[in-house]
Structure 1
Amino acid sequence: MSNTEVKFHSMHHTNSPKASFNRNIPDSNTSGRSITYIIVFLLLSLPFSLSGCYSYSFTGTSIPEGVNSIYIPFFADQSTSGIGDLSDQLNQALIDRFVNQTKLNLANSRADADAVLEGQITNYTNRPFSVTSDEETDRNQVTITVRATYLYTDAEEPEWNQQFSGSATYDPNEDPIEGEENAATQALEQVVNNMFNDAVSDW
């Protein structure tokens, strides 16, 4: 019985330092949660730290502070496209991209706007793109070129003044009229996207 008691006290004496040592080790789960909270806080506070320079649209595009409206006058068709509503399509696509997909408001005049996007359709071509072995055209390509200027109304010089082009092909043997119109619409979409991307690069 005496030996048993000595063994019991020896084991108790050996385990006590371990228990004390474990109490001093931080809980890995608690430490991990703390790091996670810090990271989340930093990510959430980042937009506020930049808010003095930019505002944010729902599409994630940052807009310079103080730029709340844009004026997009009618883009006249100076080409020989033969498509009556080409200018209307371009203007509507520009409004949809610059206004409906950002937080910018559409201004009714240059005087009421913080930014202005203006220009004209300068060239339109519809040419054979590929031919068959019998030398018959199986694809036509529509190419549209637009000259545009983007500026801020409080600046002396425009941000840019340049040409933008877009192209699309269609099968002239299926439905040549509708095919050309669809290709023209796709070409205009390319032009609008390129103009928007160039404007965003300045934001």
Structure 2
Amino acid sequence: MRTATITRATSETDIAVTVNLDGTGRYAIATGIGFFDHMLEQLARHSLIDLDVRTKGDLHIDQHHTVEDTAIAIGQAVAEALGDKRGIRRYGDALSPMDETLTRVALDISGRPWLVWNTDFTQKRLGEMDTELFKHWFHSFAQAAGITLHIETLHGENNHHIAESAFKGLARALRQAVEIDPRKADAIPSTKGML
């Protein structure tokens, strides 16, 4: 089983994350930010990656440290669970529709982290979550996981739908990319011989 547990304790947050890349999409999420929990539940359910997240952050200040550090811990756990990346498909992409919204997500588990973000929100908050933190979450996750990640909302009006389609798109693209390719299960998917 490709699993990993990451703990991260700072003066701002105390986090424990466990992932199972070969799971069924089971989740137990508690970050103290309801809408954020909902998005991470979507990530687990649609990627089929089991995800346990327990975050205690300095929410009396704001949500920034909680969201950022949770992204880092999840990204680190995914990277650790991937090991040397032998046998993975490496690439994944998804068109993620949600009612009037359509988001395109493409990623490469390349070891070269990057985020291209073409998504905007017209509200400052969704539930109690600051919408400016969504880009920061995806950026921090991509950096920690070593993933090149492109997210573009092709069209959409409802801010909830826009956020959710981005997380579901990431989930579906990640599911493809981390899967073992039975035709190359013993090979690292790079002509360099490493990722």
Q: Same fold (TM over 0.5)?
A: no
Task: Give the number of the structure with larger relative contact order, counting CA–CA contacts within 8 Å between residues 6 or more apart.
Answer: 2
Greater helix proportion: 1
Structure with the greater alpha carbon radius of gyration: 1
**TM-score (normalised: structure 1):** 0.30
TM-score (norm 2): 0.31
